[in-house]
Each structure stands twice: as structure tokens, then as C-alpha cells.
């Protein structure tokens, strides 16, 4: 390890944010990459991509990576040189590692001309969506991209509200995270906890019902009848929801 005095403080209990990475990162890439700079850059790029959403596949640019504090620290080295020299060394090592990542087809690169007439390099993960996005960029199409909101992901919600995860269930949770918006997933967990129905099948039934019927209709649950006190309407609504979801889960 570069700093022999460093001691990892340990992972916090329960609430630490998590990042979903493909299993091939550990089953394939880690076993084949013997260049430490390349491994660092690939892991950080995949981490950054996992925190983004895009119409096609998310990307990071060369400028963003050059300004990435984690990468600059990871690649600066330990030589007794000044700040400027350390920055130049980090940039050179990053450039070399990105070139290697593209040569080994771990990452894909595409040039994009910006509005100010300068060119940036966009890096994508080598996946079907990544390849399609690179083809789109080369045709002059630039999909929208945005950072994921700082919300609990579905793994954290499950562990906090239900219990430990299994490998099979993790796949179901990842699929749900791709299908439903984050606010719906959070609300479905909250609703299941309130009804004391702490299992994934029940939560998934809530999400499927909201998608099929619309949240407004499902949440109202009283057919719009006027004249009821708020607390009576809420009680009827929750009874309606509980009975409806129980029927879905049983069938």
C-alpha cells in the first residue's frame, strides 16, 4: 500500500451508500488487470457512471476525470515533488490508463464537439447501451445525462426495512430500480412498513398496481365519495389498499 501508515476505519453500520457494479468487474476484470493505475481508473469510472442516468448510457468526460479529486489523489504518486508536478504526473498516468482501458475494450471513447467549438472525449462502459450511445454520439446525437438524486437505493431500503439480502433477491431489486422511479420505491417501502407487510413480494405488488392503475386512483381508494371526515377517509383508504395488495400477493 502506498501509505504504510494508513489504516482503513471500517465500513459504517447499515446506512452507507452502495454502488451497483456488474459481477464481471470482480469475476473477470480484477483477475486480468495487473496494472494498478488501470484498475484504479476503471473502478472510479464505473463508480461515477453508476451515479448517473442517461437516455442511452451514462458517460464521463476527459475533463471531468482530470478534475476528479479521487483520481488525482490515487494517481499522484508519492514522489517528493511539488503540487504542480504531482498534478502533471496524475494527468499523465490518467491519460495512459484511459488509453489502456479503451485498447482493452473495457471502456469506449467517443469525441464530441461542444457548443464552444472545443472537443471533449466521452467515456462509456463497454455494454450494449454503451455501444449504442457511442454510435449515436458519432452520428452527432447527444442524449441527456443527469446525476442520480441523493436518495437511498433499493438495497439500502430493503436492508433497513426488511432484512439481509440474498443474491437472487438482489437481481429482483436491481430490476425494480431500473423499472420504477426512486420516489415510488421509497413510498412503496413506506406503505408496506405502515401496513406491517415487510416482504418484497408485497412491495412489488404495490409498485405493479401503481404502474397499472396510477397512484392517484390507488391511493384514494374511496371512489371519490364526498362528505367523509379525513380520518375516516384515510382509514377506508388503507383498508382498501391492504385488501387489494393482499389479493395480488395471494394470486
The whole-model pTM stands at 0.59
Is pLDDT of 14 > 80? no
Same domain, 37 and 108: yes
Same domain, 190 and 128: no
Nearest to 159 by CA among 200, 121, 100: 200
In which domain, by residue range, is 198 found? 154-250
Q: Which of 132, 147, 162 is the last residue of a domain?
A: 147
Q: pLDDT tens, 145-193? A: 877 665 677 888 888 888 887 777 888 888 888 888 888 999 999 999 9
Query: Phi and psi (nearest 5°) for 225?
Result: -70, 130
* Grid cell in block for residue 176: 425494480
Q: Which of 112, 147, 182 is the last residue of a domain?
A: 147
Q: Which of 100, 132, 147 is the last residue of a domain?
A: 147
Distance CA 106, CA 100 (A): 9
Domain assignment of residue 175, yes or no: yes
Is pLDDT of 82 > 50? no
Same domain, 143 and 201: no
Residue 47 pLDDT? 92
Domain assignment of residue 11, yes or no: no
Is pLDDT of 54 > 50? yes
Nearest to 234 by CA among 195, 178, 180, 189: 195
* Grid cell in block for residue 49: 457512471
Rounding to the nearest 10 degrees, give the CA dihedral for residues 156, 143, 95, 100.
Answer: 80
Amino acid at each position: 500500500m502506498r501509505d504504510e501508515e494508513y489504516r482503513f476505519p471500517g465500513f459504517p453500520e447499515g446506512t452507507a451508500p452502495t454502488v451497483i457494479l456488474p459481477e464481471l468487474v470482480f469475476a473477470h476484470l480484477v483477475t486480468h488487470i495487473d496494472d494498478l493505475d488501470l484498475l484504479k481508473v476503471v473502478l472510479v469510472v464505473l463508480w461515477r457512471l453508476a451515479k448517473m442516468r442517461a437516455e442511452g448510457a451514462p458517460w464521463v468526460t476527459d475533463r471531468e476525470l482530470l478534475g476528479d479529486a479521487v483520481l488525482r489523489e490515487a494517481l499522484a504518486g508519492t514522489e517528493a515533488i511539488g503540487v504542480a508536478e504531482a498534478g502533471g504526473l496524475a494527468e499523465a498516468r490518467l491519460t495512459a490508463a484511459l488509453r489502456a482501458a479503451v485498447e482493452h475494450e473495457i471502456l469506449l471513447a467517443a469525441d464530441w464537439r461542444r457548443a464552444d467549438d472545443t472537443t471533449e472525449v466521452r467515456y462509456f462502459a463497454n455494454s450494449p447501451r454503451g455501444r449504442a450511445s457511442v454510435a449515436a454520439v458519432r452520428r452527432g446525437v447527444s442524449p441527456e445525462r443527469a446525476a442520480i438524486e441523493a436518495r437511498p437505493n433499493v438495497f439500502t431500503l430493503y436492508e433497513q426495512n426488511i432484512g439481509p439480502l440474498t443474491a437472487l433477491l438482489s437481481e429482483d431489486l436491481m430490476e425494480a430500480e431500473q423499472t420504477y422511479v426512486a420516489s415510488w420505491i421509497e413510498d412503496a417501502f413506506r406503505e408496506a412498513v405502515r401496513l406491517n407487510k415487510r416482504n418484497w413480494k408485497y412491495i412489488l405488488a404495490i409498485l405493479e398496481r401503481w404502474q397499472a392503475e396510477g397512484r392517484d386512483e390507488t391511493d384514494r381508494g374511496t371512489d371519490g365519495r364526498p362528505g367523509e371526515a379525513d380520518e375516516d377517509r384515510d382509514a377506508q383508504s388503507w383498508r382498501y389498499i391492504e385488501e387489494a395488495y393482499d389479493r395480488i400477493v395471494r394470486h
